Amino acid sequence: MMNNATVATVLVLLYAGLGFATNQRKRAKLPRVGRAGPFGYAWTVLRSVLDSDGLVEEGWAKYGGKPFVLPSMSGEWIVLGPDDIEQLRRSDDTVFNAPERAKALFLPNTMFGNHLTDHPYHLETIIRSDLTKSLHSLVPEMHEEAQLAIPDHIPIISGQTSATIPLFSTMVHLIARVSNRAMIGAPGCRDEKFLQYQVSVAEEVIPMSQILNWFPAALRPVVWKLFCVTLGAKDRAVKLIGPYVKARIDYAQQDNPSTIVDLLLRYAPEEEIKNLPMLAARVVHLNMAATHTSGIFTTHALFELARLPPEQVEMVRTEIAAAIASEGGVLNKTAVGKFYLLDSLLKEIGRFHSLFAVGSSRVTLKEAVISDGTVLPPGSVVALAPKPMHNNPKTYSDPETFDPFRFTKLRTGAGTAADIQQSFTTLSNDYIVFGIGKHGCPGRFFAALKIKVVLAELLLNYDFSFPEGASHAPKPFSFNIFTVPNPTAKLVFTKRQRF
Ligand code: HEM
């Protein structure tokens, strides 16, 4: 008798073998990474579930940064190299299309409803301009929330000076609370039950979107519904956030918005304002984009700070304290703008730890020719590989070394265009953590401020160290194309006197 694992493996191999057979007809003529032949293809697909990073590294080394195919459970990716990035950056969605690809990869229509993608006003109007303009007023609020939330998340027992906590989950929850101070305001941002579900949404939706991709399109809504009624957090999060969103509608302070939902209400169509679950689903979806990515950065940053020589940590801390003092003791947006060392450290986190095996994915709507002359048929999926691009010795000296101040060293200090180029949130063809071109992450300014506010508050109040026996963070965990910090790893927070 075969056990469940064997049956599952056989099914996956059959599925992948079928994929290989059908893809033979549609595929562009490009080399493929992994083992040869149909069984090798199936094996490579299986490997991609937990080791896409390794496969990308292998393909990059073997084909010298030229395009190659990466098979995966959710279809084939054509991994493009540095020679194609400019073409992708300039693309206006007519040939290399981002929204269609995002729909196919993350299945927002199946999971959240068609209204998100049919009318993406949250993207066009809110994040791209209004939110960025509102950041001045949101920073002090987020700082206040961080001050209130940190002692809840790092509970130090009376009589003791330190606490050892699981870092990744704690940082994701802390970021969710601080983020929601900006998104829905207080008291909603302190509703622990809602925050728990909100955090779980991303933890379910991202892997589930990859798993749903394994099913035929017609079956996906059924499988998703079944999941939602049994385990899913999404419907619960939508229900729990509803009253807070409703409160913002009732408040209707649209001339003087104080939360991101207030900004959304300026553009929401009447039918969505009248349909609370629809509006609430949009907020939960936006929250999802705003939480885990920032939590990942904060976690990596703290692990790296725990490894740095104390004098380097002290340099970061001193600069933060001086910037706040220069603003009369207030942690506002101008003060955060002077955290150059922290900015460099975060940019180096993005370079060194790259969050995904492949990113900035696009689907071709028409035939397209790439740098090596290969013709891609419509429907081809292309993507960039952050890790090898960020490890390119032609772009970054000594790329294997984590150098927290790599980017401050490249600044002249005169605030020139070349200086701005070094900042964490500047998009460039050499630094693709926030993507490229017109679809480069529109939430990155908000994300960077939020992460810096949280890290500044932690740096000023705690010292960080590894639990006994550990000297660095354990290997991150990968699933499909995503990599997150190891969820079991802990960090020791020791209370320090503020100077
Ligand atoms: C450190 C945190 C973050 C990282 C690393 C990150 C990364 C990314 C990346 C790589 C993309 C795809 C870019 C491309 O296709 O070229 C993206 C898109 C996007 N991000 Fe972020 N993101 C972060 C935070 C946020 C936040 C806080 C928000 C919302 C407030 C947000 C909202 C979005 C949206 C709406 C898109 C889709 C843009 C479009 O398709 O035009 N992100 N992000």
Q: Is the pLDDT of residue 487 over 70?
A: yes
168 and 220 within one domain: yes
Position with higher pLDDT, 129 vs 114: 114
User: What is the rounded CA–CA span in Å between residue 10 and residue 74?
Assistant: 17
Q: What is the dihedral of CA 410, 414, 415, 419, to 10 degrees?
A: -10
Kindly give the distance from the C-alpha atom of residue 342 to the centroid of ligand 1, in angstroms, as a whole number.
21
Taken in order 452, 457, 462, 467, the sign of the CA dihedral is negative
480 and 346 within one domain: yes
When pLDDT is cut at 50, 70 and 90, the band that residue 214 belongs to is confident
Q: What is the pLDDT of residue 24?
A: 43
Helices 192-212 and 276-307 cross at an angle (nearest 10°) of 90
Tokens 């450290």 correspond to 345
Candidate of 132, 434, 450 to mutate for ligand 1, largest count of ligand atoms within 8 Å of Cβ: 434
Residues in the chain, total: 499
Q: Is the CB of 290 under 6 A from ligand 1?
A: yes
119 and 149 within one domain: yes
Among 82, 56, 66, 65, smallest CA distance to 29 is for: 66
167 and 56 within one domain: no
Q: Among 205-209, 368-372, 435-439, name the one with the lowest average pLDDT.
A: 205-209
310 and 172 within one domain: yes
Averaged pLDDT for residues 122-138: 85
CA 384 to chain centre: 15
Q: Is the CB of 303 under 6 A from ligand 1?
A: no
Give the contacts of 443 (CB within 8 A, at least 6 positions apart).
127, 131, 289, 290
State how many domains the chain has: 2
CB 260 within 8 A of CB 182: yes
422 and 284 within one domain: yes
Give pLDDT tens digits for 453-486. Answer: 999 999 999 999 999 999 999 999 988 888 999 9
Helices (H), strands (E): how many in the chain?
22, 12
Position with higher pLDDT, 158 vs 300: 300
Q: What is the largest CA-CA distance in the chain?
A: 73
Q: By percentage, how much of the chain surpasses pLDDT 90?
A: 75
User: What is the rounded CA–CA span in Å between residue 408 and residue 310?
Assistant: 18
Helix, strand, or coil (residue 53):
helix
Kindly give the distance from the C-alpha atom of residue 285 to the centroid of ligand 1, in angstroms, as a whole number.
12
The angle formed by the CA atoms of residues 485, 238 and 132, to the nearest 5 degrees, is 65
Q: Tell which atom from ligand 1 comes closest to the C-alpha of 296.
A: 1
Taken in order 242, 244, 276, 208, the sign of the CA dihedral is negative
Averaged pLDDT for residues 368-375: 95
Kindly give the distance from the C-alpha atom of residue 434 to the centroid of ligand 1, in angstroms, as a whole number.
6
441 has binding-site annotation:
yes
Q: Is the pLDDT of residue 18 over 60?
A: no
When pLDDT is cut at 50, 70 and 90, the band that residue 451 belongs to is very high
User: What is the rounded CA–CA span in Å between residue 12 and residue 50?
Assistant: 14
Q: Please return the burial class of 497, using the count of CB atoms within 10 Å of its CB with bins 0-12, 13-18 and 19+.
A: exposed
Q: Tell which atom from ligand 1 comes closest to the C-alpha of 127.
A: 30
199 and 93 within one domain: no
Residue type for 428, please?
A: S
Q: Is the CB of 447 under 6 A from ligand 1?
A: yes
155 and 128 within one domain: yes
Q: Is the CB of 443 under 6 A from ligand 1?
A: yes
Taken in order 299, 288, 483, 421, the sign of the CA dihedral is negative
486 and 374 within one domain: no
Helix, strand, or coil (residue 312):
helix
CA 237 to chain centre: 20
Averaged pLDDT for residues 312-328: 98
Q: Is the pLDDT of residue 493 over 60?
A: yes
Q: Is the CB of 98 under 6 A from ligand 1?
A: yes
Q: Where are the alpha helices (DSSP H) in 308-443?
A: 310-326, 333-336, 340-353, 386-390, 406-409, 417-421
* Residue 262: domain span: 107-355+393-429+433-495
124 and 8 within one domain: no
CATH of the domain at 451: 1.10.630.10
459 and 334 within one domain: yes
Q: What is the pLDDT of residue 423?
A: 96
Position with higher pLDDT, 203 vs 467: 467
478 and 363 within one domain: no
Q: Tell me the pTM.
A: 0.93
Averaged pLDDT for residues 356-377: 96
Give pLDDT tens digits for 239-255. Answer: 999 999 999 988 766 56
CB 38 within 8 A of CB 74: no
Protein residue whose Cα sits closest to atom 43 of ligand 1: 441
Candidate of 441, 445, 446, 449 to mutate for ligand 1, largest count of ligand atoms within 8 Å of Cβ: 441
